[in-house]
Amino acid sequence: MTAAAHHDYYAGGWLRASGTRLLTALNPYTEQPATLVRESTPEDVDHAVGLARQAFTSWSAMETGMRAEFLQRVASGMRSRAEDLARSISTELGMPIKLCRRIQVELPISTFEQTAALLASYPWSERMGHSLVLREAAGVVAAVSPWNYPLHQIVAKLAPALGAGCTVVLKPSELTPGCALMLAEIFDAAGVPPGVFNLVPGAGAITGEALVSHSGIDVVSFTGSTQVGRHIMTRAAQTIKRVRLELGGKSASVVLRGADLARSVKHAVASCMLNSGQTCSALTRLLVAAEDYDEAIDLARAQLRTLTPGDPLDERTRLGPVISASHRDRIHGYVRRGIDDGAQLLAGGPDSPDLPGHGYFVAPTLLGDVRPDAETAQEEIFGPVLCMLRYRHPDDAADIANHSRYGLAGAVWAGDDREALAFARRLRTGQVDINGAAFNPAAPFGGYKQSGLGRELGRHGLDEFVELKSVQLPQPVN
Ligand code: NAD
């Protein structure tokens, strides 16, 4: 277990929390404690926000090239501790180590590097008639992050916020604090000026609540559930804070007739099962034409059989446990109610044999004949549960895909890319991958509808942390 001896909270250096409450993050495979942190109290949060406000003046005025240099140094520090970061995330989250290295660690390192590079070409000022339009740092940012991609979600806020000249107070998920503690050590070693990055570990109801309600915060950047996002908006409203929300999803993969059925089913299964289904943009609804439906089931079942749950630290494991016992039970509850509601259990399910003897495992599960308005097709289950739906006409497929309060991601498969692109335009979601195209970390990421507000990553991610100032010029100034 990692005992956080000097690690209570980080604000201009490591400090001891003023409270005594200890929080334990469990290893979901061994069911034993993985990391222990002392919770930051509202007084500690107040102290960190005060330091971030002080540091804002010089950090926001710093020449962008120097800020880029600091971001690069943090990226190098992360690279030198990449294996520690991957093992910490795998241990607290349960995602297989091999996938952790590539997705949970490599991606955030390159986000820091790409943001540093972007600062040189970002339009910090532009002429518009007789005005000079300036892009200036939006202020002090409260970053609140979830457990499922713990480092990536932190960095998707931190890199652009710091690059824009904002200072940040971060509250990571209490279930996966390890990588945030390491990140603070990396910032410390990189010599980033005190107060620019601050870390306050703790639970949402105490530390998170104090942070998002604090009058010294200008921007709240939150990733997590739609329910908590809604609550945070109301707290932020008191002082009209800028609110950026990355929330839940219930994304559809639509397979049009003439598409490569084997590739499309394999892609949907892989997307849905990645990180044991705990991915906001997971393709959890698979929409297949009635004529192709039975063949698609056979293909999906065969693909699921290749996923054997096991020890996340074993290099061969492709499917780990879910985050907690309560989350496992919640997922099983959805599946049971789905079956009671008429869905067909085609693979996996709550009573599956062959799961490891310990750990919070959910068998890879396939539900068939799911009705578009059933709970399982509407709610974010956030587990390894793929729902299959059949459609009769492409217009029905578009209606079913859009019949959701969420709008985060989607996929379209068709016989040719032009047809897939035309269909992609009909989807009310922030991301659509056509014919198996890969994720692009430079493109804006975020949701329509109740999947969020604002965008992360790339140039558009930086836009979220600037304010616009129009300066009217009496005569041209160079
Ligand atoms: P959550 O909403 O329970 O918690 C997210 C964070 O908010 C945690 O740090 C938590 O401590 C904090 N929090 C909880 N209550 C709070 C409060 N009252 N005030 C301030 N902070 C509070 O979400 P989770 O279970 O950690 O993550 C899973 C959810 O995150 C899923 O819904 C998933 O779809 C979503 N998610 C979305 C994206 C995206 O980019 N759209 C990415 C990852 C996860």
Which fold, 251-440?
Aldehyde Dehydrogenase; Chain A, domain 2 (3.40.309)
Pocket test for ligand 1, best of 173, 222, 323 (most atoms within 8 A of CB): 173
CA 353 from centroid of its chain's CA atoms: 31
DSSP strand pairing (125-128 vs 167-171): unpaired
CA atoms within 13 A on the CB side of 235: 22
What is the distance in A from the centroid of ligand 1 to the CA of 271? 20
Q: Nearest residue CA, atom 26 of ligand 1?
A: 146
Q: What is the distance between the alpha carbons of residues 168 and 171, in angstroms, rounded to a whole number?
A: 10
User: How many whole angstroms from 420 Cα to the centroid of ligand 1?
Assistant: 32
Q: Which atom of ligand 1 is nearest to the CA of 202?
A: 11
pTM for this entry:
0.96
Ligand 1 centroid – CA 171 distance (Å): 11
According to the 3-state scheme, what is the secondary structure of 243-290?
Answer: EEEECCCCEEEEECCCCCHHHHHHHHHHHHHHHHHCCCCCEEEEEEEH
Of all atoms in ligand 1, which is nearest to the CA of residue 149?
43
Bridge partners of 2, per DSSP, are 35
Give the phi and the psi of residue 6 in degrees, each rounded to 5. Answer: -95, 0
Give the CATH number of domain 2-247+451-470; options: 3.40.605.10, 3.40.50.300, 2.60.40.1120, 3.40.470.10: 3.40.605.10
Q: Where in the chain is the domain with CATH 3.40.309.10?
A: 251-440
Instruction: Report the candidate in 85, 96, 97, 91 with the shortest Cα–Cα distance to residue 28.
Output: 91
Per-residue pLDDT in tens (0 to 9) along the chain, 478 residues: 554 445 689 999 999 999 999 999 999 999 999 999 999 999 999 999 999 999 999 999 999 999 999 999 999 999 999 999 999 999 999 999 999 999 999 999 999 999 999 999 999 999 999 999 999 999 999 999 999 999 999 999 999 999 999 999 999 999 999 999 999 999 999 999 999 999 999 999 999 999 999 999 999 999 999 999 999 999 999 999 999 999 999 999 999 999 999 999 999 999 999 999 999 999 999 999 999 999 999 999 999 999 989 999 999 999 999 999 999 999 999 999 999 999 999 999 999 988 999 999 999 999 999 999 999 999 999 999 999 999 999 999 999 999 999 999 999 999 999 999 999 999 999 999 999 999 999 999 999 999 999 999 999 999 999 999 999 999 766 6
Pocket of ligand 1, beta carbon within 6 A: 144-149, 153, 171, 173-174, 203-205, 208-209, 212, 223-225, 228, 231-232, 246-249, 280, 380, 382, 408, 447, 451-452
Catalytic (active-site) positions: 246, 280
DSSP annotation string for 86-129: HHHHHHHH---HHHIIIIIIIHHHHHHHHHHHHHHHS-SEEEET
Residues of the chain with CATH 3.40.605.10: 2-247+451-470
Look up residue 99 and give its amino acid: L
Main-chain phi, psi angles of 319, to 5 degrees: -140, 120
